[in-house]
Amino acid sequence: MTINNLSRVPVILAILFFAFGPSYAADGSPSRPNIVVVLADDLGYGDLACYGHPKVRTPNIDRFAAEGLKLTSCYAAAANCSPARTGLMTGRTPTRVGVYNWIPMFSPMHVRRSEITVATLLRNSGYDTCHSGKWHLNGDFNLSSQPQPWDHGFSHWFSTQNNALPNHRDPNNFVRNGQPAGQLEGYSADLVTDEAAVWLEEKRDRSKPFFLYACYHEPHEPIASAKKYADLYPSDDPSFSAHHGNITQLDAGFGRLLATLDRLDLRKDTFIFFTSDNGPAITSIHPHGSAGPLREKKGSLYEGGIRVPGIIQWPGHVKPGTVSDEPLSGVDVLPTLCEIASTKPPTDRVLDGASFLPVLAGGKVERDHPLYWQFNRASSDVKVVMRDGDWKILARLNSEPPKPSGGIVENEMHLLKTSELTDFRLYNLRQDLAETTDLTEKNPEEFARLKAELQRLYLEVRTEAPIWPAWEWPRYESQRIVWPDYWLKKRNK
């Protein structure tokens, strides 16, 4: 070996140490941090006190924001649940992956085995991993026909396919490591927190750093809130009390999770990211969610559907009480956590995200291409959008997609592969957060540049998007079949 080659040995050894070496240093401190990602469900940009809500009480999340970094341009990877979770797990815009809508039970749509999740990357690099709460990345939940949480990187899982059923109180549809947990007592936020706490205290491998992915069901319908939380919001409208109480119930669960980390003296070595999967639902049953100053709600590609709360703590790396307006998204989670864990992200596929670690020090995200969203079934007139700096360009499709609903239907795949972009609009979000003024004519050069890039991305994603077989949501509801029983019979065949 030459002198020049010998000089490279320390560098090579350092690379080998971080890739394959022990997870803990000689003094017992983690050589790589623990990681906790906490995901709320249908929590809007304006639903927290620390984001301006005048009535909802969220003392634990507010304190977490005051002691960490609050993000004011944090985005979900999609405008509803399954696609948003897909983007977070894979670092890829969900249309590339083939998750085009929220996934009903028994749908063929799922995150395929060929996809590589951040949990798989972390587990393969020496992390112990746990999922607690809502999964929603497959239709054949807990069936061998599709990948389950452990196939996508989770060594321990306590999960529901979609919502806690029949509601947040006393659910009966949780599965723990492949075994139905049966009838449970308590509220979902408490059950999800309890499982995470027991895993942290008793079941994790303490010789390894850990990745905990805690996915709360609150405040998604069907809502059930403990009386002590609903009573904080007296009203003649019980749905008002239930909805606001549900967010406070979520806050209490999150607070207990943080307290567990404190009790185990883990907080100082842990990166924690709190966010939501999409904007507020604002339905006829529970019309009380808030997108704050943003336009529209869940299901829309206007800001109210995709911009969400985002708060980060990482002692020694995040200055308490700071705020950043740098745009980042759920698709950025995979490359960010890989960098934190000294783990290489996949190089054999397109990643739509980029590491947001520079944001922790007041910097900007360096991207290969702008942030991109596509939702052919969006409730908004626009179905494809892109953000680049302060600019957001939006487009319709030249076909009439299926109306908003769950799953996929006949002819949907044909439309996915043949629809073209049309009716473009351009907004400057720094000047026009509510997206009211189209600037295409006033900024022709900027518009032309962004339109060309949006067209390029759209065609690239459309080409990669997989095709699912035609499928119709099983009519077990109309047949008055209780789905957990139906599922157990199918599973046992």
Q: Using CA atoms, how far apart are residues 428 and 442, in angstroms rounded to an integer?
A: 11
Reported as half-sphere exposure (CB side, CA atoms, 13 A), residue 271 has a value of 20
Which tokens hold the place of 385? 């959008």
Q: How far apart are CA 429 and CA 435, in angstroms?
A: 7
Helix pair 59-66, 238-263: axis angle to 10 deg? 50
**Any bridge partners for residue 208, and if so which?**
none
Closest CA to 108 of 486, 370, 472: 472
Characterise 313 by phi-psi region: left (phi > 0), alpha (psi -120 to 50), beta (else): beta
Rounded CA-CA distance 427/203 in Å is 49
Q: What token pair was written down for 222?
A: 């069907």
Question: Could you tell me if 365 and 328 are in contact, meaning their C-beta atoms sit under 8 angstroms apart?
Answer: yes
| Whole-angstrom distance, CA of residue 7 vs CA of residue 9 | 6
* Residue 490 to residue 120: CA distance in whole angstroms: 28
Q: In this structure, how many other beta carbons lie within 10 angstroms of the beta carbon of residue 460?
A: 15
CA 389/CA 371 separation, integer angstroms: 9
Tell me the residue type at 257: L
Residues with a catalytic annotation lie at: 81, 136
Q: Phi and psi dihedrals of 203, rounded to 5?
A: -110, -20
Task: Give 433-450 as a DSSP string.
Answer: TT-----TTT-HHHHHHH
Strand-pairing partners, residue 428, are: 391
Collect contacts of 243-247 with beta carbons under 8 A, ≥24 apart: 243/219, 243/286, 243/288, 243/289, 244/55, 244/56, 244/288, 246/168, 246/218, 246/219, 247/43, 247/47, 247/48, 247/56, 247/58, 247/218, 247/219
Query: Which residue bears the tokens 């299901």?
Result: 299
